[in-house]
Amino acid sequence: MTGHKLQLFGFCSVLTAIILFCVLAGGYTSFWRSKNRIEASKSLLTDACQKRLDLLPELIEISRKSKTQTSGSKMDRTAQKAAKVLQLVSLQETPLENNLIKEFEISQSNLTFQIREVFAQLETSLDKNHSKQFSDLKEPFFAAQNNLFVTGNRYNDEAKYFNARKEAFWTSFIAKLFGFNKLYYIEISKDLFLPAKATFAKNSS
């Protein structure tokens, strides 16, 4: 009888150990995948920012030819600043530092403001020679802006998910066990990247 009890106890112990191992391994893997998704979403966001930057030379050229109030050289300086900050964001692994996120937001916000400003000026000041060139350029700019909106939201969603999981009752234990509780992902401002329709609306400010 005692032998059967020992066998049962041994079986239960092994089963419990297997279950515990699976739970811990699954929890670790889940946090690791979540961390990787944040890094991937950051890469998508920085790629989207770069695509918008790549469109600027043509817009700056049109702006210079039409002599808009927002000079091409001013936008060029803003673009260079945004490109430098973007490179830092691209190179740094997540979580991003708070100061770097603020720099990123300011540089991208300034760039969006100037693009919107030039768009509004070109809508009313272009001659026939440049109006088609500008019209053709608007479509990729709108696509780039919509892509920024989507990728920005995706980054925030992934960051929010990770932060929430490490605070939840059961998963917080796994987070502390493997050191994930020390990571905190700061979300970017929700209104940093709006859809193109809202960004380039005539009453935008």
122-170 pLDDT tens trace: 887 766 566 778 888 899 999 999 999 999 999 999 999 999 999 888 7
- Residue 203: pLDDT over 50: no
The answer to whether position 15 is within a domain reads no
The answer to whether position 16 is within a domain reads no
Sign of the Cα pseudo-torsion (85, 32, 157, 171, in order): negative
Q: Nearest Cα to 72, choosing from 80, 61, 81?
A: 61
- As a whole number of angstroms, the distance between CA 32 and CA 78 comes to 37
What is the average pLDDT score of the chain? 86
Q: What is the pLDDT of residue 187?
A: 95
Q: Nearest Cα to 53, choosing from 96, 85, 26, 27?
A: 85
Instruction: Provide the number of structural domains found in the chain.
Output: 1
- As a whole number of angstroms, the distance between CA 40 and CA 146 comes to 18
| 130 burial type by CB count under 10 A (0-12 exposed, 13-18 middle, 19+ buried) | middle
Q: Span 66-88, mean pLDDT? A: 84
The answer to whether position 92 is within a domain reads yes
Q: Which residue has the higher pLDDT, 25 or 204?
A: 25
Q: Span 38-43, mean pLDDT? A: 95
Q: What is the pLDDT of residue 61?
A: 86
Q: What is the pLDDT of residue 74?
A: 85
The answer to whether position 135 is within a domain reads yes
Helix residue ranges per DSSP H, the chain: 2-66, 72-91, 98-125, 128-165, 169-178, 196-199
Q: What is the pLDDT of residue 46?
A: 97
Domain that holds residue 156: 22-199
State in Å, rounded, how far the first CA of the chain is from the last one: 83
The answer to whether position 6 is within a domain reads no
**pTM metric for this prediction:** 0.85
The answer to whether position 177 is within a domain reads yes
Q: What is the pLDDT of residue 174?
A: 87
Q: What is the pLDDT of residue 186?
A: 94
The answer to whether position 174 is within a domain reads yes
The answer to whether position 146 is within a domain reads yes
